[in-house]
Structure 1
Amino acid sequence: MSISIRQLKAFIEIAATGSFIEASENLHLSQPALSLSIKKLEGAVGGTLFNRSRKGIQLTPEGKRFLPVARRLVSDWDSALDDVARLFSKQAGRVSIAALPTLAAGFLPTVLADFKRQYPNLEISVHDLLASQIDELVSEGRADIGLSVQPRNREAMHFEPLIEDHFVAVCPAGHPLLNQQEVSWNELLAYPIIDLDRMSSTRQAIERVLGDLDREMNLFCEVSQIGTVGRMVAAGLGVSALPSLSFLQISKEGLGWRPLISPRVPRQLGIITPTRTPLSAAAKAMLNEIREHARLEQTPLLS
């Protein structure tokens, strides 16, 4: 059985007006075209839907039973078209972002504020996660966009560099290292270190630096939250190395920072998207907003 939406609308209009002539005018169809639509519809359902007599056009009993069904089908069709149109016009939809905590707290808030002003009806969800978890969510389609370091699985995901972050030495206020304009890694490693756990991309980057320097850190404490690192350093329990964006998400009270050098370690952050799955209109709009903010974020992140 093959029934078109045009045939259903013709059937409903004739039933409403009781006239092929009036229905053809309302639908902007010729009478032969309208008659052909009804003939095909009756052929598809297997019987007559209208009685044609001198008294006019009347629904058969089967036609009366079919009329509410036809109205519901047309209503569902119109609703479906309206829903997809709202998605493409970004009047409805949802965007899911998985981001490193450094980016979720230090970069995303202004992006989301501007995006929400432009598209107030779109739903947004943000997951602040470790880099490995971000890779997993994006590759499995549970997040539209990832904001992270370069993913390990480069075939399944595309990485677009956006921001080059850098490491800074974070010290308690009054610490002797703050008397310098810059701090070397060797100078920082002379003090007890408070660091993130080994699952974090920040810790993994630091471990690579230590390997290149053939040094080990005097680890005072290992924690899972950057905010905890800041509070412990402010309490004078040690020093830390953090990406500059990380420093933006912790309280600066009782803290100071200096650029870390010898080596100066860049940290490329960017957008992760799936290579095999196209983005929705809402996700594309979010992507453009992220790119625009990253372009404007070329000034120093700390001052």
Structure 2
Amino acid sequence: MRFDLTDLRLFCDIADAGSITHGAERSALALSAASTRIRNMEEALGAPLLARSRAGVALTPAGRTLLKHARAILVQSARLREDLGAFAGGVSGEVRLLANTNALTEFLPEALGRFLAEHPQVSVDLEERLSDEIVGLIAEGVGDIGIVAGTVDVGALQTFPFRSDRFVVVTPADHALAGRRAVAFSEVLDQDFVGLDRASSLQRFLASKAAREGRPLRLRVQLRSFDAVCRMVKSGVGVGIVPQTTAIRAIRTMDLAVLDLSDDWALRELTICVRNLDDLAPYARDLVESLRSRG
């Protein structure tokens, strides 16, 4: 039984995504290649690792055991690269950073750009996740640094403030809601929505909030960025929920109305979380300090 690191990373990605298709995307593999790797792993083991259904995949008992060991092996492999990096001409390595949609799209591009320019031998593996998923993965040692909504329970993780923002509703300027200053999420569920891809952490979050209201989220189109959402809203396709920072930028060039969301969860105090700052590699600690110190 021989599994390489690509096999193990793919299996972790599939387990986290609950889907071979989405797991293959996270591992940057073609679906056919990913399916073949999983099938070969199961044949080598002599037992199924995944229970497949129309809704996705679930781990079998053998799969749960493999996942635990695969994560430990991948963490150890990363630490090996870090320790050997000191002999390759200076401090080098990779930081695995997990962030929710708001942090990833609105704040991290510039912050990471500055850090990476100052640390040419360091790379960042950036992945979008839901805040509660991030907390679990950081606690398990799967990620080095997380950025989550301040409302999530982080348990024993160390935390540091990052940024503040809030979600707002954007509508066409002539929309029936356009004269309102604020609106509750439940009040807009009768509207058609323009949103992000269903796999995005924000879209999953909003879908869960709609489900709690006993209502579906009527997504007419899914796009890849908040700016694209605003452009589609301007065209009259539906309403959108975006960060306030995006909305402020968009109304400079687009005829849109912006309404505050009155729900408590709309205010987003973003927080950096780590298991233990002192246990991080030096360049990972540098990234935490860089994110904390720059607005």
What is the TM-score when the length of structure 2 is the normalising length? Answer: 0.54
Aligned residues, how many?
209
Residue in structure 2 matched with residue 123 of structure 1 by the alignment = 123
What is the TM-score when the length of structure 1 is the normalising length? Answer: 0.53
Give the whole-Å Cα distance in 2 for the aligned partners of 1:153 and 1:139.
12
Shift of 1:177: 3.5
Q: Which amino acid aligns with 2:103?
A: L
Give the whole-Å Cα distance in 2 for the aligned partners of 1:260 and 1:210.
21
The verdict on how the C-alpha distance between 1:93 and 1:86 changes in structure 2, with shifts beyond 3 A counting, is farther
Residue in structure 1 matched with residue 95 of structure 2 by the alignment = 95
Whether the 8 Å CA contact 2:137–2:143 is kept in 1: the answer is yes
Q: Which amino acid aligns with 1:221?
A: R
Residue in structure 2 matched with residue 219 of structure 1 by the alignment = 218
Give the whole-Å Cα distance in 1 for the aligned partners of 2:248 and 2:129.
17
Does the alignment pair 1:166 with 2:169? no
The verdict on how the C-alpha distance between 1:252 and 1:128 changes in structure 2, with shifts beyond 3 A counting, is farther
Q: Which amino acid aligns with 2:233?
A: V
Shift of 1:277: 7.8
Residue in structure 2 matched with residue 110 of structure 1 by the alignment = 110
Give the whole-Å Cα distance in 2 for the aligned partners of 1:269 and 1:261.
17
Residue in structure 2 matched with residue 184 of structure 1 by the alignment = 183
Whether the 8 Å CA contact 1:192–1:237 is kept in 2: the answer is yes
Shift of 1:221: 3.3
Shift of 1:194: 3.7
Q: Which runs of 5+ in 2 are unaligned?
A: 1-82
Give the whole-Å Cα distance in 2 for the aligned partners of 1:262 and 1:102.
18
Residue in structure 2 matched with residue 83 of structure 1 by the alignment = 86
The CA deviation string for residues 77-120 of structure 1, in whole angstroms up to 9 with x for no partner, is xxx89926966xxx423322122233222111221222133323
Residue in structure 2 matched with residue 289 of structure 1 by the alignment = 290
Residue in structure 1 matched with residue 274 of structure 2 by the alignment = 273
Whether the 8 Å CA contact 2:173–2:257 is kept in 1: the answer is no
Q: Spell out the pairing of 1:35-54 with structure 2 (5 A cutoff).
A: none
Shift of 1:205: 5.8
The verdict on how the C-alpha distance between 1:195 and 1:104 changes in structure 2, with shifts beyond 3 A counting, is closer
Q: Which amino acid aligns with 1:236?
A: G
Whether the 8 Å CA contact 1:160–1:270 is kept in 2: the answer is yes
Whether the 8 Å CA contact 2:128–2:200 is kept in 1: the answer is no
Shift of 1:288: 0.8
The verdict on how the C-alpha distance between 1:246 and 1:269 changes in structure 2, with shifts beyond 3 A counting, is farther
The verdict on how the C-alpha distance between 1:223 and 1:98 changes in structure 2, with shifts beyond 3 A counting, is same
The verdict on how the C-alpha distance between 1:157 and 1:81 changes in structure 2, with shifts beyond 3 A counting, is closer
Shift of 1:289: 0.7
Residue in structure 2 matched with residue 244 of structure 1 by the alignment = 244
**What's the Cα RMSD here?**
4.2
The CA deviation string for residues 276-295 of structure 1, in whole angstroms up to 9 with x for no partner, is 981111011111110112xx
Shift of 1:173: 4.4
Give the whole-Å Cα distance in 1 for the aligned partners of 2:225 and 2:148.
16
Give the whole-Å Cα distance in 1 for the aligned partners of 2:103 and 2:110.
11
The verdict on how the C-alpha distance between 1:203 and 1:125 changes in structure 2, with shifts beyond 3 A counting, is closer
The CA deviation string for residues 244-277 of structure 1, in whole angstroms up to 9 with x for no partner, is 2565898986562424144463122111212498
Give the whole-Å Cα distance in 2 for the aligned partners of 1:152 and 1:184.
23
Shift of 1:139: 3.2
Q: Which amino acid aligns with 1:191?
A: Q
Q: Which amino acid aligns with 1:98?
A: L
Q: Which amino acid aligns with 2:274?
A: T
Looking at CA atoms only, which structure, 1 or 2, has the larger radius of gyration?
A: 1
The verdict on how the C-alpha distance between 1:209 and 1:111 changes in structure 2, with shifts beyond 3 A counting, is same
Q: Which amino acid aligns with 1:271?
A: I
Whether the 8 Å CA contact 1:202–1:243 is kept in 2: the answer is no
Residue in structure 2 matched with residue 155 of structure 1 by the alignment = 155
Give the whole-Å Cα distance in 2 for the aligned partners of 1:248 and 1:97.
27
Q: Which runs of 5+ in 1 are unaligned?
A: 1-79, 297-303
Q: Secondary structure at the match of 1:146?
A: strand
**Deviates further, 133-142 or 106-115:** 133-142
Q: Which amino acid aligns with 1:94?
A: E
Residue in structure 2 matched with residue 26 of structure 1 by the alignment = none
Give the whole-Å Cα distance in 2 for the aligned partners of 1:249 and 1:84.
45
Whether the 8 Å CA contact 2:122–2:283 is kept in 1: the answer is yes
